[in-house]
Structure 1
Amino acid sequence: MTIYGGSGFLGRYITRRLAQQGWRVRVACRRPEEALFVRTYGVVGQVEPVFCNIRDDDSVRGVMTGADAVVNCVGVLAEKGRNTFKAVQEEGPERIARLAAELGVARMVHVSAIGADAESESEYARSKAAGEAGVLRHMPQAVVLRPSILFGSEDEFFNRFASMAQISPVIPVVGANTKFQPVHADDVANAAALAVTGHAAPGVYELGGPDVHSFRELIVQMLRIIRRRRLVLALPFGVGRLMATAGGVVQMLSLGLVRAPITADQVANLRHDNVVGTGAKGFSDLGIEPIAMEAVLPDYLWRFRPSGQYLAIKESARNLRPH
């Protein structure tokens, strides 16, 4: 089988699960030399990173030939160069689905996102909706997974804000009251594996964890885990747009060396809750009980604590009474 984006954050979890189930996996990615770690997910020769550019028909077809199933989990949070929302999240998924249909691939799983909406003011959300439509146009029996914000040891959410808390006394938050339903990457990978093996009915599944929290509550919980007291500063959306504009200018002048902290498109996305919709199919329809983030976050956020892995020892030592 072929997994497009199989070495990315979510992709590696999907790759690992399918390798454990005995699949021979091609991990299609832009930089296979940086994805050699996926080989360790299976026996020798079972998992192999291969070059692929999802903007090119021949490249996509070349890594798909002979596959029984395909998974697409390629996505971008911000545009960079030729990797625009349209190219990666609209045209890319449709290209994969079209070629899968031509080659007679039996099953396809496409990872989208909660909030995909053709009428959204966010280009990210519109491209996600267009990508879904393109997939279902060519592979009507495909399974589309829409996760909420993902967490896991390699995530770009909790790790990013925890890193910020190490050096800043203030954590600015745009959309502090926006609701999220964080979901563990491996639970989404489990859903993808069920779909690949035919244990999930075709259709769209919205995947969220067991709890719903506001953006502010997520940051407060993260700070509690890393044992740091910081001011969580709620910023109006207008201020967020100004930050996005200024950050974009700095990023452009630095030729991309300085990354904008937030984009205008992300500000637009933060205006809407990111939770499972009423009546949507989800984990319960797949027989999966999602894990709570409280059970996972301490396993990888400990490194952001003042004393890292030794904090628990120090706290315990304070309770010792001198004899």
Structure 2
Amino acid sequence: MMKILVCGANGFIGRHLCLHLQAAGHRVLRGIRPGVPATCPAPDDVWMDFSSDTQTTIWESRLQQAGQIDVIINAIGILHESGKQTFEAIHRDAPIAMYQAAQRLGITRIVQISALGGNQDVQIHEGMSPYLRTKRETDLFLLQSDLSALILCPSLIVGLDGISSRFFRVLASLPVLLIPGDGQQRLQPVHIDDLCEAVVRWLSHPADKTVTLDVVGPCAMTYTEMLGNYRQLMGLQPGHVLRIPLWIMHTAAGLSRFFPQRLLSHDSLRMLENHNVADPAPLQQLLARPSRNKESWFPQIPASMLASEALLKWHLMCYRSTLALIWIVTAVLSLGLYPIQDSLQLLQALPVPASLQLPLLYSAGVLDGLLGLACIVFPSRKLWVFQLGLIGVYSLLIALYLPQFWLHPFGPILKNVAIVALLISLISTDRKAS
């Protein structure tokens, strides 16, 4: 039995590594970033923040406090930079400081989760994305050190609870498949269980030097074929294809920085364009079996369950987008597109002094606009509850002072029933704490 520190234990890869290592009889210390909710917190969890823990002395103290550690696994990585979370800090400075501290304390076995493409070139070149360059710099440190390290270079990782897998299942479930460029980018997805088993098997054998391992599935496929496979696993018929020029994708990637998502970025698009494929034989040799094929990505999971989750995701996106459009258009109409005098005439029915009617109209318009933007940028349960309450107040005021609109042949108020239904759906499916 080994005592193993898994950095990034709350992430997709780290979480699965912990389960596999514990099943193999090892004692696992979970490295978790402060502020990230921990699943079943344990007293020996190790708190760490790669965005600021870039000094060797910090890691020496932390590792000493954790007791005798046999192995350190680094499963921390980001696709987007945000504030202090830079590629240099997360992928290079903090890991290297941690590995230097490990050397001083006699911890010699390391597992570094890198990326396919990060170890293909002997030299770092200017064409590398910041994501790959910083990964590569840490890999080179390990290759030049006296540590015994396993540097894993995975392609796209498939798993039921993986963020990227969920994202691709959503894309594959759309009525029209959105394909970047010609869709012929080559990929070699690997299942998360294969990656974790490779780590467990490597740890079961003595190692005296650093090795790199491309972690890929048994066969390469194009991006279009990958989405088609996801669609087939969900029991959906082949869909229509819409090819999106890459310049539009990169423009969208630039704008995506302002939205709450972690997958679409310039770096992720560049990695997609670089054809992430490799020889599957070394991984299969370590596993002593074939790696999992594309037909068995989600064993024992009914296709209907996979499809329901994916469909719900983009249905909810449609709900949020619809609400955003309604609030923003209402704001534009209130702020002047609809004649101001006509709006003020409607407000005269309310018990509001004439001097306050114009400020009230503009305030309501600004509020509606902010609510529309919040639907896109800050979706949350609190937002949906607030909107539900606001619609209730609006409807009550109209019922009391403008009851004729309830009988209007175009049904302007009755349409609120549909909006209320959307909000109730969003509230009931929001998994975040309110």
CA contact (8 A) 1:206 1:277 kept: yes
In structure 2, what residue type is equivalent to 1:28? G
How has the CA–CA distance of structure 1 residues 171 and 189 changed in structure 2, closer, same or farther, with 3 Å as cutoff? same
Q: 2:150 maps to which residue?
A: 143
Contact 1:108 1:139 in 2 (8 A): no
For the structure 1 residues 288 and 129, does the alpha-carbon distance in structure 2 shift closer, same or farther, using more than 3 Å as the test? farther
Does 1:61 pair with 2:60?
A: yes
Say which of 110, 113, 120 aligns to 2:112.
110
Is the CA contact 1:32–1:51 (under 8 Å) kept in the aligned structure 2? no
Distance between the aligned counterparts of 2:287 and 2:236, measured in 1?
Answer: 38
Aligned partner of 2:86 in structure 1 is 84
Question: Is 2:265 aligned against 1:266?
Answer: no
| Change in CA separation of 1:89 and 1:299 when aligned onto 2, cut-off 3 Å | farther
| Alignment gaps of 5+ in structure 1 | 40-44, 309-323
Q: Is contact 2:71–2:109 with CA below 8 Å preserved after alignment?
A: yes
Q: Give the letter for the 2:195 counterpart.
A: V
1:261 Cα deviation (Å)? 6.3
Alignment match, 1:132: 139
Cα distance, 1:234 vs structure 2: 2.5
> Does the Cα contact within 8 Å between 1:161 and 1:219 map onto a contact in 2?
yes
- Residue type of the alignment partner of 2:179: V
Which 4+ runs in 1 deviate beyond 6 A?
A: none
Residues 1:38 and 1:204: Cα distance change in structure 2 (over 3 Å): farther
Q: Which residue of 1 aligns with 2:420?
A: none
How high is the sequence identity, in percent, across the aligned residues? 24
Higher relative contact order (CA 8 A, sep 6+): 1
Aligned-partner Cα distance in 2 for 1:128–1:216: 28
Q: Whose Rg is larger?
A: 2
Q: 1:115 to 1:3 in 2, by over 3 A?
A: same
Which 5+ residue runs of structure 2 have no aligned equivalent? 311-434
Question: Quick check: 1:92–1:131 contact (8 Å CA) kept in 2?
Answer: no
Task: Name the structure where helix makes up a greater proportion of residues.
Answer: 2
1:87-134, Cα deviation, whole Å (9 max, x unpaired): 111223212211110110031111111111532432211121112112
Q: 1:157 to 1:142 in 2, by over 3 A?
A: same
Letter of the structure 2 residue corresponding to residue 137 of structure 1: Q
Q: What per-residue deviation string (whole Å, max 9, x for no partner) do you get for residues 251-293 of structure 1?
A: 1xxxx5x437622222222211111159x84332453431123
Q: How has the CA–CA distance of structure 1 residues 63 and 28 changed in structure 2, closer, same or farther, with 3 Å as cutoff?
A: farther
Residue 180 (structure 2) aligned to one of 159, 168, 174: 174
Which is worse superposed, 113-122 or 82-91?
113-122
- Residues 261, 289 of structure 1: alpha-carbon distance in 2 compared, 3 angstrom cutoff: closer
User: What is the CA RMSD across the aligned residues, in angstroms?
Assistant: 2.7
TM-score of the two chains, using structure 1 as the length reference = 0.80
State the number of aligned residues. 292
Measure, in 1, the Cα distance between the counterparts of 2:49 and 2:305: 35
Matched, 1:238 2:247: yes
Q: 1:277 to 1:95 in 2, by over 3 A?
A: farther
1:290-305 to 2 correspondence within 5 Å?
A: 290-297=291-298, 299-300=300-301, 302-305=304-307
